[in-house]
Structure 1
Amino acid sequence: MQKLFWLVGLTVALCAQSAFGVNHAILVQNSGWMEPFYTDGASQLKPLVAATAERIATGSDRVMVLSFNQTSERNVSPTLVYDGRAGGDLGASISKIEIAFKQPGKAMADTDFNEAVSKTISGPLKGQPGILWIFTNNKNSPNNSAETASKNREFYSLIHREPSIKRSLAFPLTMPVKGKTYAANGLMVYALAYGDEADRALKALVASKRLREVFTQQPAQLKPLDRESVRLLPKSVINAPNTSASLGGDGRTLLLDIDASHQTNAVQIVAQVENMFYPFEIQAAQLRADVHGTGWSNNLALSPRTINSLAPGAVSDVTISLPVRADFPNPWSLKALTEFGRQIVVPAKVVLRLEGQQLVVDRAFQERLTKIFPGDPLPDVFVPPASAAVSTVELPLLIRVNYPLYPLLAAIGLLFGAAGLLTYLLVRARKPVSYELRVNGLLRRISVGAFAEVPVFSPEGKQIATITRRGGAPTVAQVAKGHSVELI
Structure 2
Amino acid sequence: MIAGLPARLLAFPALLLAHLLALVPAQAAEPVPQVVLIQDSGWMEPFLTADGSQFRPLVEALAAAARAPGGTIAVAAFDQDGQVPGRTSPRILYEGPYDAARVRAAVAGIDLPRKASGAYADADLDGALVGAIRLALRGRAGVIWMVTNNKNAPGNDPAVARNTAAFYAALRNSDAITRIVAYPVRMPLKGRTFSEGGFVVYGIGYGAAGGQALDAALAGAPMRALFSHPPVRIKPLLAGGLALRFEGFDGGGLRAVTENGVLVVRGADAARGAALRLTGRLHNGLYPQRVVDARLSLTWTEIGAQAGLSEEAGLAEDAALAKAAIAPARIEGIAPGADSGPLSAVLTLPPVPRPPGLAGLLAGRRTVDGTLSLRLADLRLALDPAFLERVRPIFASSLLTGRGDTIGDAAGQGTGQAAGQAAGNTAVEGRLPDLFLDFKSVSETAVTLPVRIEAEFSPWPLIGASAGALALAGAAGAGAAAGMRARTLTVMLGSFPKRATLKPFRPLVLRAPDGSRWRVRAGLWGPARATRLADAEPGARA
TM-score normalised by L of structure 1: 0.75
Map 1:21-420 → 2, pairs under 5 A: 21-39=31-49, 43-59=53-69, 61-71=71-81, 72-74=83-85, 76-87=88-99, 90-103=102-115, 106-136=118-148, 138-141=149-152, 157-158=168-169, 161-164=172-175, 165-173=177-185, 187-207=199-219, 209=221, 211-215=223-227, 217-225=229-237, 227-236=239-248, 238=250, 241-242=253-254, 244=256, 246-249=257-260, 251=261, 253-257=262-266, 259=268, 261=270, 264=273, 269-288=278-297, 290=299, 291=301, 293=303, 301-316=325-340, 317-320=342-345, 330=354, 334-335=358-359, 340=364, 344=367, 346=369, 348-370=370-392, 378-380=428-430, 381=432, 384-385=437-438, 388-393=441-446, 395=448, 397-401=450-454, 410=463, 414=467, 419=473
Q: Secondary structure at the match of 1:132?
A: strand
* Residues 419-470 of structure 1: per-residue CA shift (max 9 Å, x gap): 456445533553334434344445444444445444444247864231232x
Equivalent position of 2:512 in the other structure:
458
8 Å contact from structure 1 (residues 280, 311) kept in 2: yes
8 Å contact from structure 1 (residues 256, 397) kept in 2: no
* Residues 216-252 of structure 1: per-residue CA shift (max 9 Å, x gap): 53222133335444222134555674252x4442x5x
* Residues 158-204 of structure 1: per-residue CA shift (max 9 Å, x gap): 47743444432122345566655566665432212344443344345
Distance change (3 Å), C-alpha of 1:314 and 1:424 = farther
> Structure 1 CA distance, aligned partners of 2:276 and 2:12?
51
> Structure 1 CA distance, aligned partners of 2:217 and 2:339?
25
Equivalent position of 1:478 in the other structure:
531
**Further displaced range: 67-76 or 416-425:** 416-425
Q: Secondary structure at the match of 1:365?
A: helix
8 Å contact from structure 1 (residues 240, 262) kept in 2: no
> Structure 2 CA distance, aligned partners of 1:411 and 1:20?
62
Shift of 1:284: 1.9
Shift of 1:407: 6.3
TM-score normalised by L of structure 2: 0.69
Distance change (3 Å), C-alpha of 1:480 and 1:180 = same
> Structure 2 CA distance, aligned partners of 1:282 and 1:159?
28
**Alignment-mate amino acid for residue 162 of structure 1:** N
**Further displaced range: 331-340 or 79-88:** 331-340
Equivalent position of 2:486 in the other structure:
432
- Gap regions ≥5 residues in structure 1: 483-488
Distance change (3 Å), C-alpha of 1:34 and 1:429 = same
Equivalent position of 1:467 in the other structure:
521
Shift of 1:106: 4.0
Q: Secondary structure at the match of 1:366?
A: helix
**Alignment-mate amino acid for residue 362 of structure 1:** D
> Structure 2 CA distance, aligned partners of 1:59 and 1:38?
29
> Structure 2 CA distance, aligned partners of 1:259 and 1:205?
43
**Alignment-mate amino acid for residue 478 of structure 1:** T
How many aligned positions are there?
Answer: 471
8 Å contact from structure 2 (residues 242, 285) kept in 1: yes
Equivalent position of 1:486 in the other structure:
none
> Structure 2 CA distance, aligned partners of 1:279 and 1:239?
37
**Alignment-mate amino acid for residue 283 of structure 2:** E
Shift of 1:352: 4.6
Q: Secondary structure at the match of 2:133?
A: helix
**Alignment-mate amino acid for residue 382 of structure 2:** V
Superposed CA RMSD in Å reads 4.6
Q: Secondary structure at the match of 1:140?
A: coil
Distance change (3 Å), C-alpha of 1:387 and 1:179 = closer
> Structure 2 CA distance, aligned partners of 1:132 and 1:156?
14
Equivalent position of 1:485 in the other structure:
none
Shift of 1:283: 0.5
Shift of 1:282: 1.0
